[in-house]
A and B are shown apart, each in its own frame.
Chain A
Amino acid sequence: MTVHNIRVGQSKRGDASDGTLAEAIGGRLSRVDGPAKITGAAKYAVEQQLEGLVHAVLVESTIASGKVRVIDAAAAEAAPGVLQVLTPDTIISLKTAADWFGTPPPDKPYCPLARDITFSGQHVAAVVAETFEQAVAAAALVKVSYDETPSIVDLSDGKAGDGIPIDAMTKEWGDASTAFASAPVRICAAYNTPREYQAPMEPHGLVARWEGDHLTVWEPSQWLDGMARTYAEWFGIPFGNVRLVSPYIGGGFGSKALALSHGAVAACAARMLRRPVKLVMTRPQTFTGYGGRAATRQTVTIGADRDGVIQSIVHRGVNETSMDGMWVEPLGSVTSIMYATPNFSSKQNVVRVNSVVPGAMRAPGENPSAFGIESAIDELAYEVGIDPLEIRLRNYAEQDPHAKKAWSTRQLREAFAAGAERFGWARRSPEPRSMRDGNQLIGWGVAAGTYPVRRAYGEAVVRILADGSVEVESSSIDMGQGTYTILAQTAAETVGVPADNVVVKLGDSRFPRAGVTGGSRLAGVMTGAVYKAATSALDQLVGLAISDPRSPFHALQANTLVVANGRIASPRGDGPDVSIAELLNSVGRDHIEAKGDTMPANSTAEDRYKNYTTIAMSVPHTEGDYSRHSWCAHFIEVRVDEDFGTVRVSRVVSALDSGRLYNPKLAESQWKGGIIMGIGQALLEEGIVDRRHGRIVNDNLADYLVPTNADIPDIEVISVGIPDLHASVLGGKGVGELAIVGIAPAIANAVFHATGKRIRDLPITLEKLI
């Protein structure tokens, strides 16, 4: 049950940037968890080896709609090694938990195994056996019969209808329809994105163990405290009785923030059998065990004058949700802020289909929203004969057009300039199909992206230990984005010790709390919390050194002291110079500890609980006088084989404004990851649904295609951000989600420039181009 201590010293240093030491905030320190992951020493959640561990395997529905008539488990129960077959009739009853907003749940039981089937792939039973192989074999023996009813498999189904209006998504100002009708230039087009999947390398799964009324869950998690709350509410036990452990996460992309029904099944099985239970989804199960990105439909109409200046935008969006859950993918989020327009209208419906409830996937909302507006403005550019970059500058929003507030910072003009310069945009030949190399048509496209600065709360403990090392603890997590590393940098710089001497402990819900790791908010929140805790620990250290009669500095009667590189001295260097360890020894202390958080002053215990276990109290990005967002501009070259319609992205230059970067090396890596995921979205990714029984036909990584190395060219990323102290304590904005936003339209725009064909349905597969 080790929590993994990450020492900076195990890691190779990155290059210093701008004269900053690699290990200070803003330095290019390499990922401190890298060696553990590469050598296999990093132990992932389901690798826990526990005494008496048994294995659960899920049985899923093979119809999309109907009722389970009967589950015949006799053969499975008689199979070797089988301990229990869980069905809706045999599984213990749970309470319904609050949703992630903390909305009080209905007072009714919750059963993670379904009697009423609303999608194909729904969990209907589970088999627990002594070994994994026994459980797999027995699960295949469970016979489920159904009374099937007609289903609506996706948005294109004739029975799907117009859906439910979501009034909270309506954004309007001016008189958009009148202005559109009188505009001299009018663009109207429909843009579609398919169901897409997060496809993390590590599948979802967990190990659950009960000790009396205490539950420990080892599970990859983007939100320990939120998931621990859900488990506690399901089982009706105090929050403090649930411990979630998740030191490493093999990719989340939004899919690992919530406790899901398979987790409930495993925890129930562990309780019923009084043995620890391991349950890991198969790869096909990850396509229905939780939701990917909802399929979306948008229409974007733009009215403009002949100079390309926008007069009106009318936007209508639809996303799919499940029959019994509600997911809203905010499709007007980029549409409403990217360009200045005097008249605007955006409305959105959701349509119920027989699917698992869709979920968060890298930049939910902004990503499909940008595909609509950034394609549409490109269409407008060709319509009025203006360069696609120039038209974006002509319609530049000098303030938030929706919130009518000043931007906290918006380096988008700088992003356009830096990206265009580096890409060589000025050399672009404007006509479609005008650039060619043999059989290949070459196209250059541009698109912008944005993501709001979501802000929430976190707390951290910083300890200065007797040996002079520093320990940081937080229940936040590192799913590859670099939390271990930047928190080590923050503590090292703030206290004044080498980063080698900092140990960061994450991923255990017993540690000081943190809200969800999602919406690109964690770095800003946690560097702030660690900065505050470390500052407070440093103040205690200096205070002790000045005031304790046993301190070598006592006689100096100094007002302050300097701590640097693990040593304490007076600012003028005229007194003693001792190590932190020597000082603590001299004053008889074995450690100094301080807690810091980013909560408002006077927060109650209840406020804190709500802040860390729900998203109800996230701070709006337009709070106060400013509207806070990250921004980016993508410049992309594609080559399209004219005969085959195959598209290859051959060059990417992206300029991004994420504010201050806590570690440029890690930020660049995340940006590139987002760009690669965007290339997959543009060209490859689509969940294909069988129209008869609603099953995902390509529910595996051979058939659901994500890019390989050979699909990805060299990617150049340029940081154009400046510190934004309205966004976070240390001036950073969001990094993780930003870069995927705008990639798909940049590619579609480049494909249009190459071929003269406008593809408005993702992905851009070859039959759409031949």
Chain B
Amino acid sequence: MRDFDYIRPASIPDAIAAAAEPGSAYLAGGTNLLDLMKGGVTSPQRIVDISRLPELNRIERLEDGGLRIGALVRNADLAHDAAFAKAYPMVAEALLSGASAQLRNAATVGGNLLQRTRCSYFYDTASACNKRVSGAGCAALGGENRLHAVLGWSDACIATHPSDFCVPLVALDAVVEIEGKQGRRHVTLAEFHLLPGETPQRENALEPGDLIVAVRLPAEAASFAANARYLKVRERTSYAFALVSAAAALVVDGGKIRAARLALGGVAAKPWRARAAEAMLLGADANEATFASAADAALADASPSGDNAFKIELARRIVVRALTSAQAGTPERLPALPASPFSNIPGARHDA
């Protein structure tokens, strides 16, 4: 047996103390961690089960108009919270476009941020992977890499971050609330995930023992509710990771863009905020030419990491479509096939 210790702490400080030991891993929904353990991809010596910690499963409106989402709130519960979906429709749409209904019922907010890449070579323990074994090399580089990164990659790692949820979150300036040995701190989601550089094994800003306790959305995030969409292109209609996705949110007044948010998924080791594109959109006329320029700006630094140049053109087109859809307005009801370009087909079923 691969033995490991199982600890179920009663409080957040107990959890942090337990997880600060080397070789520890937090267990929440377990939808990713247990797969990785079964496959021998990761073998923690100590599992710190936080799933029953009391205070982490609440959704709280803050006095400043922001929202605080506890780290243990389930993906499905958040997406189906009517007030949440109304204020942040593209976040709800992204959540419902991810995984399967069963997984969404188990997966948590904090765990979603921490899910590992879907790179096949990361999963194949017979292959070299710098994430698994620092300095081992990257088998994906020069391997089968059709799905890999086109932005922010390095020769050490070309993997992508698989989350849908994080894409609209980073666009809306979400902040990660972290409890650690030194107390509580806030890190923007944009700064939370790290690009691989020479240290792809280091994927985020967490230090040993650090626990994500909540994700915060600032008050301004709700101001995009009328014109916000998440669009996800994937190989099959449901239960598939994004080839490329985009979250687009606009405030349009008199044909002019007064505020714009844009982020891409499936293109890099982190949810990719397209700030240059946002700058270009701000104050411009809301039309297809503007959106096309924004798409070019968003992908200006993109380069194929292998056999995946098509993803760059695909990403440009998704940016244009997402912005066009956002301009057209958030639909009254969430589409039957959330985030799908085919969501307008009559009779499409809501069984994704």
Interface membership of B258, Cβ < 8 A: no
Interface string of B95-136 (1 = CB under 8 A from A): 000000000000000000000001011011011000000000
Closest to A689 in B: B144
A684 x B317 contact (CB < 8 A): no
Q: Given A81-B1, A644-B318, A708-B238, A767–B310 Cβ distance below 8 Å? A: yes
Q: Taking A643-B320, A644-B317, A708-B352 as given, write out 19 further A-B residue pairs in contact, using a Cβ cutoff of 8 Å, ordered by the A residue number.
A: A133-B1, A133-B2, A140-B2, A439-B341, A683-B235, A692-B143, A698-B120, A702-B241, A703-B118, A705-B235, A707-B236, A708-B236, A708-B238, A710-B348, A766-B233, A766-B235, A766-B310, A766-B314, A767-B146
Interface string of A675-716 (1 = CB under 8 A from B): 000000001100011111101011010110101111101100
Give the distance in Å from the alpha carbon of A136 to the alpha carbon of B317 in the complex.
Answer: 46
Determine the chain A residues whose CB is within 8 A of the CB of B313 once the complex forms.
770
A711 x B344 contact (CB < 8 A): no
Closest to A137 in B: B2
A708 x B237 contact (CB < 8 A): yes
Interface membership of B6, Cβ < 8 A: no
A80 x B238 contact (CB < 8 A): no
B236 x A770 contact (CB < 8 A): no
B1 x A690 contact (CB < 8 A): no
Closest to B310 in A: A767
Interface membership of B333, Cβ < 8 A: no
Give the distance in Å from the alpha carbon of A648 to the alpha carbon of B1 in the complex.
Answer: 46
Q: Given A134-B1, A646-B233, A690-B144, A62–B349 Cβ distance below 8 Å? A: no
Give the distance in Å from the alpha carbon of A635 to the alpha carbon of B243 in the complex.
Answer: 30
Interface string of B297-337 (1 = CB under 8 A from A): 00000000000001001100110110000000000000001
Determine the chain A residues whose CB is within 8 A of the CB of B142 once the complex forms.
692
B118 x A770 contact (CB < 8 A): no
B345 x A695 contact (CB < 8 A): no
Interface membership of A641, Cβ < 8 A: yes
Determine the chain A residues whose CB is within 8 A of the CB of B121 once the complex forms.
697
Interface membership of A765, Cβ < 8 A: yes
B120 x A641 contact (CB < 8 A): no
Interface string of B340-352 (1 = CB under 8 A from A): 0110110111011
Interface membership of A182, Cβ < 8 A: no
For chain B residues 1-22, which have a beta carbon within 8 Å of chain A?
1-2
Q: Given A131-B1, A695-B124, A710–B310 Cβ distance below 8 Å? A: no
Interface membership of B206, Cβ < 8 A: no
Determine the chain A residues whose CB is within 8 A of the CB of B344 once the complex forms.
438
Closest to B313 in A: A770
B317 x A695 contact (CB < 8 A): no
Interface membership of A455, Cβ < 8 A: no
Give the distance in Å from the alpha carbon of A477 to the alpha carbon of B1 in the complex.
Answer: 37
B233 x A648 contact (CB < 8 A): no
Interface membership of A463, Cβ < 8 A: no
Q: Given A707-B236, A709-B351, A711-B238, A697–B318 Cβ distance below 8 Å? A: no
What is the interface of chain B mostly: helix, strand, loop, or mixed? loop
Interface membership of B23, Cβ < 8 A: no
Give the distance in Å from the alpha carbon of A707 to the alpha carbon of B240 in the complex.
Answer: 10
Give the distance in Å from the alpha carbon of A440 to the alpha carbon of B343 in the complex.
Answer: 11
Chain B positions near chain A (C-beta within 8 angstroms): 1-2, 40, 118, 120-121, 123-124, 126-127, 139, 142-144, 146, 233, 235-241, 243, 310, 313-314, 317-318, 320-321, 337, 341-342, 344-345, 347-349, 351-352
Q: Enumerate 23 A-B pairs (CB-CB under 8 Å) in ascending A order.
A: A81-B1, A643-B320, A644-B233, A645-B314, A646-B341, A646-B342, A688-B144, A690-B143, A695-B127, A697-B143, A702-B118, A702-B241, A705-B235, A708-B236, A708-B237, A709-B351, A710-B348, A710-B351, A710-B352, A767-B146, A767-B314, A770-B310, A770-B317
Closest to B239 in A: A708
B342 x A703 contact (CB < 8 A): no
Give the distance in Å from the alpha carbon of A687 to the alpha carbon of B345 in the complex.
Answer: 30
A702 → chain B, closest Cβ, in Å? 7
Determine the chain B residues whose CB is within 8 A of the CB of A698 once the complex forms.
120
Determine the chain B residues whose CB is within 8 A of the CB of A439 once the complex forms.
321, 341
Determine the chain B residues whose CB is within 8 A of the CB of A690 once the complex forms.
139, 143-144
Determine the chain B residues whose CB is within 8 A of the CB of A702 once the complex forms.
118, 241
Interface membership of A639, Cβ < 8 A: yes
Determine the chain B residues whose CB is within 8 A of the CB of A711 once the complex forms.
236-238
A648 x B310 contact (CB < 8 A): no
B54 → chain A, closest Cβ, in Å? 32
Closest to B350 in A: A710
For the complex of A and B, 7 pairs with smallest distance between CB atoms: A710-B238, A62-B126, A767-B310, A710-B237, A643-B317, A708-B238, A710-B352
Determine the chain B residues whose CB is within 8 A of the CB of A707 once the complex forms.
236
Interchain CB contact (< 8 A) of A770 among B239, B241, B314, B352: B314
B337 x A710 contact (CB < 8 A): yes
Chain A positions near chain B (C-beta within 8 angstroms): 62, 80-81, 131, 133-134, 136-137, 140, 438-440, 639, 641, 643-646, 648, 650, 683-684, 688-693, 695, 697-698, 700, 702-703, 705, 707-711, 713-714, 765-767, 770
Give the distance in Å from the alpha carbon of A645 to the alpha carbon of B341 in the complex.
Answer: 10
Give the distance in Å from the alpha carbon of A134 to the alpha carbon of B2 in the complex.
Answer: 8
B341 x A684 contact (CB < 8 A): no
A644 x B341 contact (CB < 8 A): yes
A52 → chain B, closest Cβ, in Å? 19
B238 x A709 contact (CB < 8 A): yes
Determine the chain A residues whose CB is within 8 A of the CB of B342 once the complex forms.
440, 639, 641, 646, 648
Give the distance in Å from the alpha carbon of A162 to the alpha carbon of B18 in the complex.
Answer: 62
Give the distance in Å from the alpha carbon of A711 to the alpha carbon of B238 in the complex.
Answer: 7
Q: Given A648-B345, A705-B235, A709-B349, A643–B143 Cβ distance below 8 Å? A: no
Closest to B126 in A: A62
A705 x B236 contact (CB < 8 A): yes
A337 → chain B, closest Cβ, in Å? 34
B1 x A695 contact (CB < 8 A): no
Determine the chain B residues whose CB is within 8 A of the CB of A695 once the complex forms.
124, 126-127
Closest to B308 in A: A767
Give the distance in Å from the alpha carbon of A474 to the alpha carbon of B216 in the complex.
Answer: 64
A434 → chain B, closest Cβ, in Å? 19
Give the distance in Å from the alpha carbon of A471 to the alpha carbon of B331 in the complex.
Answer: 60
Give the distance in Å from the alpha carbon of A140 to the alpha carbon of B38 in the complex.
Answer: 11
Interchain CB contact (< 8 A) of B1 among A137, A644, A710: A137
Determine the chain B residues whose CB is within 8 A of the CB of A648 once the complex forms.
237, 342, 345
A195 → chain B, closest Cβ, in Å? 13
Give the distance in Å from the alpha carbon of A714 to the alpha carbon of B346 in the complex.
Answer: 12
Determine the chain B residues whose CB is within 8 A of the CB of A714 once the complex forms.
347
Closest to B240 in A: A705
B244 → chain A, closest Cβ, in Å? 9
Give the distance in Å from the alpha carbon of A765 to the alpha carbon of B238 in the complex.
Answer: 16
Determine the chain A residues whose CB is within 8 A of the CB of B318 once the complex forms.
643-644
Closest to A707 in B: B236
Closest to B237 in A: A710
Determine the chain B residues whose CB is within 8 A of the CB of A646 once the complex forms.
233, 341-342
Give the distance in Å from the alpha carbon of A438 to the alpha carbon of B337 in the complex.
Answer: 17
Determine the chain B residues whose CB is within 8 A of the CB of A643 once the complex forms.
317-318, 320-321, 341
B331 → chain A, closest Cβ, in Å? 14
A518 → chain B, closest Cβ, in Å? 28
A684 x B351 contact (CB < 8 A): no
A80 x B349 contact (CB < 8 A): no
Closest to B124 in A: A695
B112 → chain A, closest Cβ, in Å? 16
Closest to A140 in B: B40
Give the distance in Å from the alpha carbon of A708 to the alpha carbon of B342 in the complex.
Answer: 15
Determine the chain A residues whose CB is within 8 A of the CB of B233 once the complex forms.
644, 646, 766
Interchain CB contact (< 8 A) of A644 among B139, B239, B314: B314
Determine the chain B residues whose CB is within 8 A of the CB of A683 once the complex forms.
235-236
